[in-house]
């Protein structure tokens, strides 16, 4: 395991840090700034800022230069993610496009798809959604029933997707659709790239317990998509999806560690403010999550070292997902216990604004579900990494 970065990577860190300090408005750090915005305004600010960042050359860090990326190393990407957290930069508004779709298009897209998709995505001109989950198909994705019927040069799509991140702000959606009538399970599915700005597509927000609607449901009612807007071969969408999902592998988790470690300090400050920092049970809990956090840091450096050496982690990536998501959730469960009777409040007696912390505590419930639930990750680890019987 290598715990250091190269001189070139550290130079990149300095350059990025200077740009961020000059380009993140001070008001974004003002308590209550983000909470006062509605979903649309929040999204617009983040979208514009991310476009400016891309135009300044700080996007697609590991993408080849021919696609407008920086051609950087995995270490540079880890530094980039870490610096975004340290600068309190807003989260990307295009995570599904940038993480999953772009590398898949680079790998198996047609020339026309590469040209039409990658540049506009990098500049945030097109926000991509992921249309996999359905009311009857989540972990068991092969149970999906959204149908595409061939009509001349087009497919006509009918069905419903759900839990679609950015549904109401999305421009296009990469969608798993059953295009072979009568096909079952993994066969006969295609990945269609559907324009969401058409009358046959209706995206509706789903209100979460935090009050935000960062995901929604998408209804297809005779939506049309040209057959040329299929990523990979028609009927071979399962293979395309497996390739697409593999691009999450190699995400090292360093930035998660950095973010969670800062949140840990904020949680300790809440315990101090409430005089609970001397409670031996709370101290024990805090020590336990701090230990988990340090394990996450070391695991992340291990993953980064492996990826830097060109090793594909394969199914071991399930262990990374399990580790960061469960550590995050444990951390925020300790916060809930510290709050006690203040759990329903927005502020502490000393004036501390709890809203951003409460939002994280609520968000933490979701991380062991999306991107493959913890139970499914444990199955994968048991069967595919450890070779245990089914
Ligand atoms: C915040 C958030 C954002 C999301 N964004 C998107 C998105 O943009 N696009 C998209 O397509 N989807 C998205 N999802 C959906 C997500 O991928 C699904 O919620 C997830 O795949 C689980 O599916 P499900 O909700 O249908 O639960 P189910 O699959 O019905 O699972 C219910 C429970 O059963 C367990 N379980 C299921 N199968 C097994 C098994 N074989 N062994 C053991 N236990 C099992 C699960 O772990 C879970 O506890 C998002 C979800 C969330 C929470």
- Domain ranges within the chain, ordered by starting residue: 7-93, 128-235, 251-385
Ligand 1 atom at minimum distance from 132 CA: 11
Mean pLDDT of the chain: 94
**Per-residue pLDDT reduced to its tens digit, 180-236:** 999 999 999 999 999 999 999 999 999 998 888 889 999 999 999 999 999 999 999
Please give the pLDDT value at position 306. Answer: 87
164 pocket-lining for ligand 1 (C-beta < 6 Å): yes
pLDDT for 252 beyond 70: no
pLDDT grade for 311, boundaries at 50, 70 and 90: confident
369 pocket-lining for ligand 1 (C-beta < 6 Å): yes
Question: What is the distance in A from the centroid of ligand 1 to the CA of 215?
Answer: 13
Question: What is the distance in A from the centroid of ligand 1 to the CA of 350?
Answer: 40
Ligand 1 atom at minimum distance from 130 CA: 9
What CA–CA distances, in Å, run from 364 to 32, 104, 218, 237, 340? Answer: 20, 28, 24, 31, 18
Q: For 91, which DSSP code?
A: P
Ligand 1 atom at minimum distance from 374 CA: 47
The encoded tokens of residue 299 equal: 């695991």
What's the sign of the alpha-carbon dihedral 257, 262, 265, 267? Answer: negative
Please give the pLDDT value at position 246. Answer: 86
Where do we find the tokens 């927005």? 346
Q: What mean pLDDT do residues 242-246 have?
A: 91
Q: For 385, which DSSP code?
A: I
pLDDT for 250 beyond 80: no
What CA–CA distances, in Å, run from 74 to 114, 243, 313, 362? Answer: 22, 19, 13, 31
Please give the pLDDT value at position 31. Answer: 81
Question: What is the CATH code of the structural domain delimited by 128-235?
Answer: 2.40.110.10
Ligand 1 atom at minimum distance from 371 CA: 17
**Per-residue pLDDT reduced to its tens digit, 114-157:** 999 999 999 999 999 999 999 999 999 999 999 999 999 999 99
What CA–CA distances, in Å, run from 105 to 94, 314, 361? Answer: 15, 20, 35
Comparing 169-178, 185-194, 210-219, 277-286, the range with the smallest average pLDDT is: 210-219
**What CA–CA distance (Å, rounded) separates 113 from 378?**
36
Report the residue among 321, 373, 383 best suited for mutation to probe ligand 1: largest number of ligand atoms under 8 A from its CB.
373
258 pocket-lining for ligand 1 (C-beta < 6 Å): no
Ligand 1 atom at minimum distance from 131 CA: 11
pLDDT grade for 308, boundaries at 50, 70 and 90: confident
Question: What is the distance in A from the centroid of ligand 1 to the CA of 65?
Answer: 35
- Nearest alpha carbon to residue 245 among 131, 145, 371: 371
pLDDT for 248 beyond 80: no
Residue nearest to atom 31 of ligand 1 (CA): 139
Question: What is the distance in A from the centroid of ligand 1 to the CA of 367?
Answer: 10
- What would be the CATH architecture of the domain defined by 251-385? Up-down Bundle (1.20)
Please give the pLDDT value at position 310. Answer: 85
Phi-psi region of 164 (alpha: psi -120 to 50; beta: other; left: phi over 0): beta
Helix, strand, coil tally for the chain in percent (to 5):
50, 15, 35
**What CA–CA distance (Å, rounded) separates 147 from 128?**
20
Q: Answer whether 376's CB lies under 8 Å from 139's CB.
A: yes
**What CA–CA distance (Å, rounded) separates 170 from 237?**
21
Residue nearest to atom 13 of ligand 1 (CA): 163
220 pocket-lining for ligand 1 (C-beta < 6 Å): no
376 pocket-lining for ligand 1 (C-beta < 6 Å): yes
Question: What is the distance in A from the centroid of ligand 1 to the CA of 141?
Answer: 9
Question: What is the distance in A from the centroid of ligand 1 to the CA of 144?
Answer: 13
Instruction: Choose from 73-87, 162-176, 240-254 the range with maximum mean pLDDT.
Output: 162-176
DSSP secondary structure string for all residues of 98-134: IIIIHHHHHHH--HHHHHHHHHHHHTTSS-EEEE--B
- Nearest alpha carbon to residue 222 among 168, 164, 163, 146: 146
Is 266 one of the catalytic residues?
no
The encoded tokens of residue 198 equal: 């058409």
Domain 7-93 has CATH 1.10.540.10: yes
149 pocket-lining for ligand 1 (C-beta < 6 Å): no
What Rg do the C-alpha atoms of the chain give, in angstroms? 22
Q: One of 35, 116, 180, 248 is an active-site residue; which one?
A: 248
Please give the pLDDT value at position 209. Answer: 87
Q: Answer whether 155's CB lies under 8 Å from 148's CB.
A: yes
Q: What mean pLDDT do residues 276-288 have?
A: 97
Question: Measured in Å, how far apart are the chain's first and last C-alpha atoms?
Answer: 32
Ligand 1 atom at minimum distance from 372 CA: 21
pTM for this one? 0.94
Please give the pLDDT value at position 133. Answer: 98
CA dihedral 224, 226, 227, 233 (to 10 degrees): -100
Question: What is the distance in A from the centroid of ligand 1 to the CA of 373?
Answer: 6
**What CA–CA distance (Å, rounded) separates 144 from 184?**
9
**Per-residue pLDDT reduced to its tens digit, 316-351:** 889 999 999 999 999 999 999 999 999 989 999 999
Determine the angle formed by the axes of helices 280-308 and 254-273, rounding to 10 degrees: 170
pLDDT for 58 beyond 90: yes
Q: For 181, which DSSP code?
A: T
**Per-residue pLDDT reduced to its tens digit, 32-54:** 898 889 989 999 999 999 999 99
% of the chain at pLDDT higher than 90: 84
110 pocket-lining for ligand 1 (C-beta < 6 Å): no
364 pocket-lining for ligand 1 (C-beta < 6 Å): no
**What CA–CA distance (Å, rounded) separates 373 from 133?**
13
Q: What mean pLDDT do residues 232-242 have?
A: 97
Please give the pLDDT value at position 249. Answer: 64
pLDDT grade for 85, boundaries at 50, 70 and 90: very high
**What CA–CA distance (Å, rounded) separates 319 from 336?**
26
256 pocket-lining for ligand 1 (C-beta < 6 Å): no
Strand pairing category for 128-131 and 172-178: parallel
């Amino acid at each position: 395991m290598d715990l250091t970065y190269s001189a070139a990577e550290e130079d990149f860190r300095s350059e990025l840090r200077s740009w961020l300090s000059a380009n993140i408005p001070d008001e974004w750090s003002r308590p209550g700034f983000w909470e006062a915005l509605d979903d649309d305004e929040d999204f617009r600010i983040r979208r514009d800022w991310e476009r400016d960042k891309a135009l300044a050359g700080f996007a697609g860090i590991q993408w080849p230069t021919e696609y407008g990326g920086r051609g950087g190393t995995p270490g540079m990407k880890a530094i980039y993610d870490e610096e975004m957290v340290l600068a309190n930069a807003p989260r990307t508004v295009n995570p599904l496009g940038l993480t999953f779709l772009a590398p898949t298009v680079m790998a198996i897209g047609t020339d026309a798809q590469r040209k039409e998709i990658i540049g506009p995505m990098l500049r945030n001109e097109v926000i991509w959604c992921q249309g996999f989950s359905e009311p009857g198909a989540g972990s068991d994705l092969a149970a999906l029933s959204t149908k595409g019927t061939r009509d001349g040069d087009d497919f006509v799509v009918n069905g419903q997707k759900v839990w679609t991140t950015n549904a109401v702000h999305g421009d296009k959606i990469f969608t798993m659709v059953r295009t072979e009538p009568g096909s079952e399970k993994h066969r006969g599915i295609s990945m269609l790239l559907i324009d969401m700005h058409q009358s046959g597509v209706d995206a509706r927000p789903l209100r979460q317990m935090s009050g935000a609607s960062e995901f929604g449901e998408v209804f297809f009612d005779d939506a049309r998509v040209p057959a040329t807007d299929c990523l990979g071969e028609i009927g071979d969408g399962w293979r395309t999806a497996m390739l697409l999902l593999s691009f999450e592998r190699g995400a090292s988790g360093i930035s998660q560690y950095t973010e969670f470690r800062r949140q840990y300090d904020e949680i300790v400050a809440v315990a101090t403010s409430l005089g609970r920092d001397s409670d031996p049970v709370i101290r024990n809990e805090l020590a336990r999550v701090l230990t988990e956090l340090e394990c996450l840091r070391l695991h992340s450096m291990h993953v980064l070292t492996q990826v830097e050496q060109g090793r594909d982690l394969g199914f071991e990536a399930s262990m990374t997902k399990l580790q960061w998501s469960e550590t995050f959730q444990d951390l925020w469960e300790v916060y809930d216990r510290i709050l006690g009777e203040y759990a329903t409040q927005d502020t502490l007696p000393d004036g501390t604004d709890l809203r951003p912390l409460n939002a994280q505590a609520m968000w933490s419930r979701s991380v062991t579900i999306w991107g493959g639930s913890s139970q499914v990750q444990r199955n994968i680890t048991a069967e595919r990494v450890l070779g245990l019987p089914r």
